[in-house]
Amino acid sequence: MPGAGRSVASATTTTPDDPLADLGWGPDLDAALPIGLAPARVVRSDRGWVTALGRFGEVRLRFDPLHPLSPTPTTGDWVASAPGDDLVAAILPRRTALVRAGAHDEATPQVLAADVDLVGVCVPLSSPPRAGRIQRYVTLGWASGATPLLVLTKADGALGPQAASEVAAMAPGVEVVVVSARDGRGIDDLRARLRGGRTMVLVGPSGVGKSTLVNALVGRDAMATGAVRESDAKGRHTTSTRELVLVPGGGVLLDTPGLRALVPWDDGDGLARAFPDIAPLLGTCRFSDCQHRGQPGCALEAAVAAGQLASGRLEGWQRLHDDLSRIEAETETRLRTSRSRPGRSGRSGRGGRR
Ligand SMILES: Nc1nc2c(ncn2[C@@H]2O[C@H](COP(=O)(O)OP(=O)(O)OP(=O)(O)O)[C@@H](O)[C@H]2O)c(=O)[nH]1
Ligand SMILES: [Mg+2]
Ligand SMILES: [Zn+2]
């Protein structure tokens, strides 16, 4: 195993020149580290093996996918291993986790990234923005426990930076950075946000420029990139694995494959935070079971009628709310079924969040 079984520094406390600090290691993680184990951060995870960055560089560690080591280590996770052993002995508790509903089975959460500080929602300024899509990614971001950031890519593109305020209005309360990997604008701003070992995951559909942005930020071709299709500007799903890249000077980027469809997994306040214009109105309708679809005394529809809420915002919220309700119902059914079967335990937690 390359790098496996290297010696472990006896003291685990971080010093200013500790290479782990650039990766986001800090006192709270240190406090959670089991005695005698060495920490490393997962770069990628693949069928029973992780590649991780530790104090002495890259290591390969194995984990048993069938072992009740829960959850399965994923990109961004901090794992710990015993000196001389190439087995993942522990996964440190996740402070944040980016979780979607499974693409094939919605009631099964899929963790896309762990322990991120920022969720860079990439929206290209080369084609008309789609509000519904942006709302989904922003909800995913807030639901993770981290902070979403709108990253408007391809500012040199057809729409130009003047479209930034139009896109920003689709995500109220979310900070915006306008970047171009081609002419370099916004790159330093983004890099500054990663200083101090902060981690940002880049998310968005294929072709929006996530990997190109990673390369611009790290100053080398760390990730492969691919041209979008000429006919419809769609990406070609160039990136196929989730990968962690260290930014020179400190900070971490997580590149992800473009998602074809996204239903965020939200068991907290993701939806409410993505819709700060709607959340305060909930519970103020005349009927407590108001469906906000033509029921008398609906506060949401009244706000739309009064011009205080754009109808598109209500429609976007409705669609996401419907998705989340459907998944919640399905999850409840599963839980009940597995509980009623003797000898089977219920689902454990929703994606191991925070
Ligand atoms: N004009 C312009 N083109 C860009 C910019 N950033 C990326 N591109 C182009 O957009 C295309 C897609 O870029 P990628 O970085 O591969 O996109 P991605 O989001 O990683 O796509 P997937 O890996 O498929 O999810 C490439 O042809 C890039 O050259 C930019 O700032 N300006
Ligand atoms: Mg890519
Ligand atoms: Zn209502």
Based on the domain organization, do 123 and 195 belong to the same domain? yes
> Does the beta carbon of 181 lie inside 6 Å of ligand 1?
yes
For residue 353, tell me if it sits in a domain: no
Domain stops at, among 222, 255, 288: 255
Question: Quick one: which atom of ligand 1 is closest to the CA of 255?
Answer: 20
The residue assigned the tokens 């074809």 is 260
Based on the domain organization, do 230 and 319 belong to the same domain? no
Based on the domain organization, do 84 and 47 belong to the same domain? yes
For residue 208, tell me if it sits in a domain: yes
- What CATH number should be reported for the domain holding residue 161? 3.40.50.300
Based on the domain organization, do 111 and 148 belong to the same domain? yes
Residue nearest (by alpha carbon) to ligand 1 atom 27: 227
> Does the beta carbon of 139 lie inside 6 Å of ligand 1?
no
For residue 268, tell me if it sits in a domain: no
Q: Which residues define the annotated binding site?
A: 153-156, 204-212, 285, 290, 292, 298
Domain stops at, among 67, 91, 115: 91
> Does the beta carbon of 350 lie inside 6 Å of ligand 1?
no
Based on the domain organization, do 211 and 241 belong to the same domain? yes
Residue 251 Cα to ligand 1 middle (Å): 22
Based on the domain organization, do 56 and 160 belong to the same domain? no
Radius of gyration of the chain (CA): 22
Determine the pLDDT at residue 161: 82
Question: Quick one: which atom of ligand 1 is closest to the CA of 258?
Answer: 25
Tell me the residue ranges of DSSP E strands in 182-332: 199-203, 243-246, 252-255
Based on the domain organization, do 107 and 248 belong to the same domain? yes
Based on the domain organization, do 125 and 230 belong to the same domain? yes
For residue 310, tell me if it sits in a domain: yes
> Does the beta carbon of 234 lie inside 6 Å of ligand 1?
no
Cα end-to-end span (Å), the chain: 31
Determine the pLDDT at residue 249: 85
The two tokens of residue 116 are 């991120």
For residue 239, tell me if it sits in a domain: yes
Determine the pLDDT at residue 271: 98
Determine the pLDDT at residue 70: 64
Determine the pLDDT at residue 69: 54
CB 254 within 8 A of CB 199: yes
Based on the domain organization, do 226 and 103 belong to the same domain? yes
Nearest ligand to residue 243 Cα: 2
Based on the domain organization, do 139 and 234 belong to the same domain? yes
For residue 270, tell me if it sits in a domain: no
Q: Which residues define the annotated binding site for GTP?
A: 153-156, 204-212
- DSSP-assigned beta bridge partners for residue 54: 40, 57
CA dist., res. 211 & res. 223, Å (int): 6
- What CATH number should be reported for the domain holding residue 303? 1.10.40.50
Regions of the chain where pLDDT drops below 50: 1-12, 343-354
- What CATH number should be reported for the domain holding residue 33? 2.40.50.140
Based on the domain organization, do 87 and 103 belong to the same domain? no
For residue 103, tell me if it sits in a domain: yes
How many distinct structural domains can be found in the chain? Answer: 3
Domain stops at, among 41, 71, 91: 91
Question: Which residues constitute the domain of residue 334?
Answer: 275-340
For residue 348, tell me if it sits in a domain: no
CB 204 within 8 A of CB 137: yes
Based on the domain organization, do 206 and 234 belong to the same domain? yes
